[in-house]
Amino acid sequence: MAMKTLFMRLATLVVGIVLLAVGASGQGSNDAELTAQLKKLFPNAATFSAKTGTPGHYKAFGPGAAGKEGELLGLAYWTTELEPLERGFDGPIKMLVGLNVAGEITSVIVTDHREPYGYFSVDLPDWPTQFEGKSIRDAFKVGADVDAISRATITVQSASRAIRNSSRKIARAHLAPPAPPAGGAPAPAAAAQ
């Protein structure tokens, strides 16, 4: 009986070690995929922080002096974490968004989305590019400053609202407001955190 108990404990230990090893190896590939996505949002970034803050975000830094962190270029965040109720026709639209310190979107990556009738919505390669350079102060109104896609109105409106609202939340929480104008021209926003 003691041998059977010892064998069961040893088997449990081996299974636990194997599961930990499999989980750790999968985490590395997820980290590499996330880093590649962050690099698409901020091509000039030298480093990225781990996810931090409330609401959660990643910081993109430019190159710095030897051993020092570079200048903050912007923040990246998941729309589904900031706007979880915004959904497409057939479920959530998971997007990673980059926002520079001036409050302008650098890029949008649609990472997960499903449409019941096929590939003709926010998954199209050109759809997210229209947000590049948009300010958080823009309207993001479908049919006005955001292109509509026929047969995908619900999804496009929801995705546009998710990008706009999550960007504004991140900016309010983590970017300093522009300084008052000194001589007419407003100063660019600077990072607060």
Distances (CA, A) of 115 to 37, 121, 154: 22, 8, 11
Q: Mean pLDDT over residues 176-183, rounded?
A: 67
Which residue stretches of 42-125 are H helix?
79-82
Distance, CA of 187 to CA of 105 (rounded, Å): 18
Give per-residue pLDDT as tens, 127-169: 788 999 999 999 888 878 787 765 567 788 889 999 999 999 9
Confidence band (pLDDT; 50, 70, 90) for 21? very low
Angle 69-70-72 (CA atoms, 0-180°, nearest 5)?
A: 110
Alpha-carbon radius of gyration of the chain:
21
- Asked whether residue 188 carries a pLDDT value surpassing 60, the answer given is no
Distance, CA of 3 to CA of 154 (rounded, Å): 63
pTM here?
0.73
Q: 179 Cβ partners below 8 Å, 6+ apart? A: 186, 187, 190
Distance, CA of 106 to CA of 45 (rounded, Å): 12
